[in-house]
Amino acid sequence: MAALGRRYGRVVVRAGGNPSRGGLQTGIGSLDALFPEAGLPRGRLSWIRGESGAGNFDLGLALLARLSLALPVAVVDFDHRVDPGDVADYGGELGHCWVVRPRTLEQGWAAARSLLKAGVEFCLLQAAKWPPVGRAIPALLLAALEEGSGVAVMGGGLTVPLEVGGRLSVELSCRRVGWSMAHGDVAGVLIHLLVARSRMSPSGRGCELRIDFPRPYPRTAGIVDLGMLSSSGLSDSNPWTTPLAVAER
């Protein structure tokens, strides 16, 4: 056990039979339903992957803003793309939100670990690409997650280093399938989220979400639940995906 702990991190071996801590509920019914604990898995590291323009960046911001209304949250912005005003525009509470712009990769991972140990309940690690990291870095982050009940989510990129991928609890694939239009302008993005891999439940389930942008029109910004996806790839509960409502750029 000591050798396993030194090689893979001290949380790799743990006692069985611990009661579930329950998931961190986002209030988005279809999104929460993708996880067996009815919410983002606590004490674990998850990943929302997607190429540039897939909608995962806006999903991360909107989710961060939504959770900040009741919880301490943080975003580690490796690419320096996030502006605190973006979180505020999505209706977030900036008094509950920390935005970290690290100078180096190691500083970013260390900041996420420190914030989770300090009591942050949701930490978003945002990057378009994920460079290689040392084996100890994800192990230390998982140790911090295990000590509390926080949630860490990596957002962006199409690949992750092997040292990180082996420690992921859930991998969600984000794909843009259309745009929401208003007065001839793009007012939001329509995305499909699919469970690509999971250590907790079977993969393949998915949901459909619309992210309403804060601009250009004064409508309610944030995440709109459009229901679970059927095997055909269409929403079971909402006929929003019609030619009149979706327009490709």
Residues 97, 122: contact at Cβ < 8 Å?
no
Instruction: Enter the pTM of the model.
Output: 0.84
Structural domain includes residue 159: yes
Q: Identify the pLDDT of residue 238.
A: 45
Structural domain includes residue 16: no
- The contacts of residue 147 (CB under 8 Å, 6+ apart) are 117
Q: Identify the pLDDT of residue 68.
A: 97
Q: Identify the pLDDT of residue 12.
A: 63
Structural domain includes residue 5: no
Mean pLDDT for back-to-back runs of 10 residues, the chain (249 residues): 74 57 91 94 95 93 96 97 92 95 96 96 96 90 89 96 92 96 91 94 92 81 92 50 31
Q: What is the number of structural domains in the chain?
A: 1
Structural domain includes residue 122: yes
Structural domain includes residue 52: yes
Q: DSSP secondary structure string, the chain?
A: -HHHHHHH-TTSS--S-PPP---B--S-HHHHTTSTTSSBPTTSEEEEEB-TTSSHHHHHHHHHHHHHTTS-EEEEETTS---HHHHHHTT--GGGEEEE--SSHHHHHHHHHHHHHTT-SEEEEE-SS-----THHHHHHHHHHHHS--EEEEE-BS---HHHHTT-SEEEEEEEEEEEEETTEEEEEEEEEEEEEESSS-S--EEEEEEE-SSSS-S--EEEEEEEB-TTSSBSS----STTTB---
CATH assignment at residue 74 = 3.40.50.300
Which range of residues forms the domain containing residue 40?
23-177+195-206
Structural domain includes residue 221: no
Structural domain includes residue 230: no
Structural domain includes residue 3: no
